[in-house]
């Protein structure tokens, strides 16, 4: 049985949610990594199981902070993000990331308490309009809602990736803002674009320890 003060957090999106940070971290508190591959829980240590990066994640650090703050006694993360993924990819070729994650959670009897979504850098290199971005995000969220998972879905405002020379930042950021929706319980998450290059690797994209 899952204790009452347990956070079960899905981490979705692209590289900054997928172990592409420059420094690894091992959680010191009761933080677990639910692996969407095997459907089993492991102690949370970077790189987290479930994504494609081999570096660090914000989640291992966040888990410790949530427990140290007294909000939770235990935190379980399920990362399903993929580096370089566009929002269109996550809804189409990469939809299995979401559907498999949902199936594994259900099989384990786990219901998410939060869904964190950090994505946008890829779409900032494309021609995705604000309207398209919001529509695609709603499509993704509806997969969770159709599965009976109604946890708040936090969409970060993220488009900064200097080395790639993004040209579509304004549209992506506008789409992220306009995707916020009370009926779908989509909420505004952090604005990671406020993290400057002092908080990033030399590529001006992926987070370092400061970030």
pTM: 0.97
User: DSSP 3-state assignment of 183?
Assistant: coil
Contact between 161 and 124 under an 8 Å Cβ cutoff? The reply is: yes
| pLDDT at residue number 4 | 77
pLDDT of residue 3: 67
Task: Calculate mean pLDDT across residues 43-53.
Answer: 98
Cβ neighbours, 10 Å, residue 167? 11
Mean pLDDT in residue range 137-156: 98
The rounded distance, in Å, linking the Cα atoms of 191 and 180 is 13
Residue pointed to by tokens 């994505």: 119
| 3-class secondary-structure state, position 154 | strand
Whether the per-residue pLDDT at 1 is higher than 70: the answer is no
CA distance 21 to 16: 7
- Kindly state the tokens that stand for 28: 């010191």
Query: Is the pLDDT score of 164 beyond 70?
Result: yes
Six-digit token pair at 11?
């981490």
Torsion of CA 57, 31, 1, 111, to 10 degrees: -20
Cα(177)–Cα(51) distance, integer angstroms = 26
How far apart are alpha carbons 83 and 52 in whole angstroms?
7
Residue 79, pLDDT score: 98
Residue pair 168/128 in contact by the 8 Å Cβ criterion: yes
Q: Are 192 and 160 in contact (CB under 8 A)?
A: yes
Please check whether residue 22 is in contact with residue 56, taking contact to mean a CB–CB distance below 8 angstroms.
Answer: yes
CB-facing half-sphere around the CA of 168: CA atoms within 13 A? 18
What's the mean pLDDT in 149-171? 96
Q: What is the mean pLDDT of residues 166-194?
A: 98
């Amino acid at each position: 049985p899952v204790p009452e003060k347990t956070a079960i957090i899905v981490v979705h999106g692209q590289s900054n949610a997928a172990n592409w940070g420059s420094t690894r971290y091992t959680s010191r508190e009761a933080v677990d990594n639910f692996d969407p591959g095997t459907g089993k829980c492991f102690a949370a240590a970077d790189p987290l199981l479930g994504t494609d990066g081999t570096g660090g994640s914000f989640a291992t650090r966040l888990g410790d902070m949530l427990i140290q703050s007294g909000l939770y006694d235990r935190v379980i993360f399920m990362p399903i993000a993929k580096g370089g993924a566009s929002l269109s990819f996550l809804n189409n070729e990469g939809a299995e990331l979401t559907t498999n994650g949902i199936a594994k959670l259900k099989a384990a009897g786990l219901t998410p308490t939060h869904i964190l979504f950090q994505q946008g850098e890829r779409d900032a290199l494309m021609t995705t309009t604000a309207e398209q971005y919001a529509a695609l995000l709603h499509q993704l969220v509806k997969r969770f809602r159709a599965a009976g998972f109604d946890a708040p879905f936090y969409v970060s405002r993220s488009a900064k990736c200097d080395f790639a020379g993004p040209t579509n930042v304004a549209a992506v950021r506008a789409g992220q803002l306009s995707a916020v929706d009370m009926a779908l319980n989509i909420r505004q998450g952090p604005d990671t674009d406020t993290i400057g290059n002092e908080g990033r690797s030399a590529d001006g994209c992926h987070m370092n320890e400061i970030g």
